[in-house]
Amino acid sequence: MLDFMLGDFMVRATLAGVGVAVAAAPLGSFVVWRRMAYFGDATAHAAILGVALSLAFSMSIFVGAVVVALAMALLVSSLTGRGYAMDTLLGVLAHSALAFGLVAVSFLSGIRIDLMSYLFGDILAVSREDLAVIWGGAALVVALIVWRWSALLTATLNEDLAHASGVDPRREQLILTLALAITVAVAIKVVGVLLIAAMLIIPAAAARPLARTPESMALIAAAIGVLAAIVGLRGSYLLDTPSGPTIVCAAAIAFAATSLFRRRGA
| CATH number of domain containing 61 | 1.10.3470.10
> Per-residue pLDDT for the chain (266 aa), expressed as one digit of tens each?
444 444 577 888 889 889 999 988 888 888 888 877 777 777 778 888 888 888 777 788 788 888 887 887 777 777 766 666 667 777 788 788 888 888 887 777 666 666 677 777 788 888 888 888 889 989 999 999 999 898 888 888 877 778 888 888 888 888 888 888 888 888 887 888 778 888 889 999 999 988 889 999 999 999 999 999 999 999 998 988 888 889 999 999 999 999 887 666 55
Q: How many domains does the chain have?
A: 1
Tell me whether residue 106 is in a domain: yes
Tell me whether residue 216 is in a domain: no
Which residues neighbour 153 within 8 Å (Cβ) at sequence distance 6 or greater?
A: 214
CA distance 243 to 236: 5
CA torsion through residues 133, 202, 73, 164, sign? negative
Tell me whether residue 252 is in a domain: no
Tell me whether residue 203 is in a domain: no
For residues 263, 210, 44, 156, the Cα torsion angle rounded to the nearest 10 degrees is: 110
Tell me whether residue 241 is in a domain: no
CA distance 124 to 138: 19
Nearest to 257 by CA among 230, 235, 228, 217: 228
Tell me whether residue 220 is in a domain: no
| C-alpha 36, offset from chain centre | 12
Query: Collapsing DSSP states into helix, strand and coil, what is residue 172?
Result: helix
Structural domain including 98 reads 2-196
pTM, entire model: 0.84
CA distance 53 to 111: 12
CA distance 179 to 40: 11
Which residues neighbour 171 within 8 Å (Cβ) at sequence distance 6 or greater?
A: none
Tell me whether residue 257 is in a domain: no
CA distance 30 to 28: 5
